[in-house]
Amino acid sequence: MTDQTPNGAAPAASAALVLEDGTIYRGSAYGATGRALGEAVFATGMTGYQETLTDPSYAGQIVVQTSPHIGITGVTSEDDESARMWPSGYVVRAASRITSNWRAEEPLGAQLTRDGVVGIAGVDTRAITRRLRDAGAMRAGVFSGDALTDDAAMLAVVRESPQMAGRSLAATVSTKEPYTLPAEGESIGTLAVLDLGIKASTLKYLQQQGFDLVVLPQDATLEQVLAHEPVAAFYSNGPGDPAASGSQVELLQGLLRAELPFFGICFGNQLLGRALGFGTYKLPFGHRGINQPVLDVATGRVEITSQNHGFAVDAAIGEQLESPAGFGRVEVSHYSLNDSVVEGLRALDIPAFSVQYHPESAAGPNDAHHMFEEFRQLVLAKKEAN
């Protein structure tokens, strides 16, 4: 077993990754020790591990990094997407024994430990990824320290843990109290932001578009939202099953009936789909990474995007649809070139659109950053029409 500890340190304790199909991978403890349970998923980005770890959308998941060497640039608070790291567990091939970056404030392992993320290093992440691609994302556990027991006992714990399907996790990651952030430059009005696990870069880019932000908890009511007299509404990314988010769907339908311009990202795209009356379903292994190709139907342009989702909207591509919930005509605006999964929706009779990917591009390419400007223009057009 490879020593994944800093130079001169004692060898790391043993650890095991246990998949619910009974497969077990053995390696060294990395970060916090103990037990982590969640859905095992793989992320294909070759950079941006800190942005991945601090993305609240990864709550309840055990993240397997396909990039083989993790941690060389350490961590710096400037790059955090939230106040802490969110995955239940973390799986890497080779954890860097040194930190080599002038911006680094501490090693990655130190923040993993402080935030209670139970990790494992020294395992074949290529083999794990191939298994997850073949069998689909599945429940798993990382065990180290006193939690590392016999194989049968660990497997039983994994198989008794909850499935991701049917789980509502927004309350875990959302702000508990409303807060405000000022627009950068001239304000075009107040934007009501429903925090379902929002990233710091998303807030920053919305501010740069001239919005005064009021960021609201995931359980905000329609009356509470409208009390802020917003010019528009926004739903963020976040973890969990959109089918278990009935209250947020009901709120969004109220906002659409109030004719507020709406923009949703990732989880917000799935909830717009449900608010419009379409279904959602669980993907076999999801899309996670900063290298996902998406086709913009209107322009024919291919954008390389940052993504992290395990569910998708069930809507037909290439035809004009009628909203089953009575909101008029709808079209699929974007779809994945890897597997034709819906990557965006646009309502044609009300001012609402959404994308499944992360146009804030943290970390990742900025091909889709123009979506924030499109939202600004939608809001300005609505204000001018009134």
- Cα separation, 18 vs 21, in Å, equals 8
* Short-list 343, 334, 346, CA closest to 307: 343
Positions annotated as catalytic residues are 266, 358, 360
Q: Are 354 and 378 in contact (CB under 8 A)?
A: no
Going from the C-alpha of 190 to that of each of 67, 215, 266, 267, 378, the distances in angstroms are: 41, 10, 22, 22, 14
Residues 6+ apart with CB under 8 A from 369: 205, 359, 360, 361
Burial 41-77 (b: 16+ CB within 10 A, else e): bbbbbeebbbbbbbbbbbbbbbbbbbbeebbbbbbee
* Residue 155 identity: L
